[in-house]
Every structure is written in structure tokens, then in C-alpha cells.
Structure 1
């Protein structure tokens, strides 16, 4: 029996333990989050400060994916590598940092791969950013090949490679990406 269609809904506090297990379970295959082990709990990673809104993909009553949106900081107050990511986004969109919105904390459980959950979550995040008149941005470690395929397939464009402060020494540079105006961002 195949799983039901994913339902996208706002994240609830009681989703977090399920999401934490899914995050850690899929980490080995996806490479996300890059740091393994995480320097803090999976729950803290999911409930990151600065999140503006968050959603889950639910299949058959269980959360199987997550996405959040946040606002990038002012590059003048960030560490060099973190500022470089924001500047790449600003340059690409030709907008100040306070008009940017970031897709963040985006993952699906291995069991949800191919179900459409990731595409639906990404579309939800992009729509929420567009509703707030924020220019969509994200960063991704290039070893996250599944995410890279999804982003490229849905119109995201690479605008730079940078080394944010959180990146480990053995990791390749992070790819800064933007979704140009008029691009749907998922499902197209």
C-alpha cells in the first residue's frame, strides 16, 4: 500500500520529537545537516532561534518533513563568511538584507523521498516568502545532491560559493542560491 499524499501544515511543538528522529535518520544519506554529530540536539536544530514560520509534511498522520523561513541578518554585524552569503543574495536580488527571506531547516525523512513532500514543503516556503514580499534565498552544501537537484529543477540559481562560520574545515564551500522573481520555486 502506498503512502497518502503529503499534507503540509504549520509545525506544532508535538511534531518536534518525530522530526528530530527523521532529521537524524536521513542525515547519513543526504549529508544534511552537514555537521555529524551536531554540536547540539536535533530538537535545537529544528527549533532554531530566528525562525519566522515553519511547516511540516505529514503522511498518514506522521510528520515526515520540515521547512522553515527566516530573515538573514545585517551583513555588517555578521562574521565574514556569514556576511558573504547575505551579500551574495543581496547582489543577486538587488535588494537590501531586510527584503530577503531564507528557506531553512529543510529536510524530508528517507521514507518520504519521492512522495512529493519535499517539493510541497519548498513551494509552501517560497509562497510564504513571496506573500511577505521577501526575495527567496537559501544556502546548501554541494554534497547534498538530492537537495541540489530539487533546487535546480525548480528554478533556483547559484550566485556564489562561500564559507560561513558554521562550516567545518573539511566541507566544501556552501552554495548561495536565489530564486529569481517570477520563478515558482517548486512544483513547476
Structure 2
């Protein structure tokens, strides 16, 4: 199966809304579903630095974005990475793929694109993830758990989110 990555454009958003909804029942991402705001606002955020889509046979089949860490999450990541400046970090976020292409390298290629871009900017790639199968996928790709965070929206019965980063390049 051949696929291509390219920068996200506004006309991709309706298809991405459909893909996010299609994959949510099996991935559990996003955890809150239905979302309490428009799905497009979950995918496209004002503070994103870059975003990419994967295309398979001419149709949008996946997404990832990179942006700054902000708010309580920034404080948690700064503490966990022993970093003084949040601009040295790049949050890899909103990574999802269509269930029909899962296991074919699309998600890994999207993740690699985000990491490569963040690294090229001299920023440490970081991410947050709910505990579950996705953690093993990230660990397999070299990500390390560096902390935990319990956002206000996360129910008390759900374990805290894990903060992860790639090891710093020496």
C-alpha cells in the first residue's frame, strides 16, 4: 500500500472529522466522545506550528500536528524534562489514522514527520497519552515515560495521562 504525507490544508478538515470519528470506537481517542465542542476544533488548533495528513489512494487517511506546550501541561513537561523554556519543547498531538490503514505504517510515518520537524527546529518532541495500548507503540519507537498529568476533564476513575519524550540527542 502506497501512501503520501503532505501538509494539512483547510479542505482536508471535513474528511479528517470523519476519520477521527471512524477510528474513535476502536482507539478510544479522543477519550471524551462525543466532544463537547466541534470536532474540527479538536483537529485544527490555533497554536499548531505544523500539521500533516496521510493520503492513501487519494483519500485522507491520517493526521498529526505539532505545537507548543501550554498551561498546566507546559509546567508538567518543563518539570519532567528539566527544561526552563517551553519553546524548547514541541508537542506532538492529534495523531490518528483511519482504521482501514491501521498497521500499515501510516501512523508511524506521520509520527516520524512530526518528530523530524520538531528536531529540525531544535525542539524536544514530547507527547501526552492516556494509559493503554498506544503507550506500548510509543515505547517501541523509543519514547520514554517522563511523568504524569491529570487534566481537569479526565474522570477520576481513569488513570492519569502519561507524559512522554524521546531521549535528548547528545
Q: TM-score under structure 2 normalisation?
A: 0.92
How far apart are residue 170 of structure 1 and its match? Answer: 3.8
Structure 2: where are the runs of 5+ without partners? none
Residues 6-85 of structure 1: pairs in structure 2 closer than 5 A: 6-73=3-70, 78=71, 83=72, 85=73
Instruction: Give the CA deviation at 1:86.
Output: 2.7
Equivalent residue for 2:128? 139
Structure 1: tracts of 5 or more residues without a match: 184-188
SS in 2 for 1:164: coil
Counterpart contact for 1:35–1:168, Cα < 8 Å: no
CA RMSD of superposed structures (Å)? 1.6
| Residue in structure 1 matched with residue 150 of structure 2 by the alignment | 163
- 2:165 equivalent to 1:178: yes
2:105 to 116, 125, 130: 116
- TM superposition score normalised by structure 1: 0.84
How far residue 57 of structure 1 moved from its aligned partner, in angstroms, is 0.8
Q: Hey, which bits of structure 1, 4+ residues long, moved more than 3 A?
A: none
Displacement of 1:97 after TM fit? 1.3
**What secondary structure, in the 3-state scheme, does the structure 2 residue paired with 1:51 have?**
coil
Q: Distance in 2 between matches of 1:114 and 1:59?
A: 13
Q: Name 1:186's counterpart in structure 2.
A: none
CA contact (8 A) 1:92 1:178 kept: no
Determine helix, strand or coil for the equivalent of 1:101. strand
* Bigger relative contact order, structure 1 or 2 (CA pairs below 8 A, ≥6 apart): 1
Given that 2:76 and 2:147 are in contact with CA atoms closer than 8 Å, whether structure 1 keeps it comes out as yes
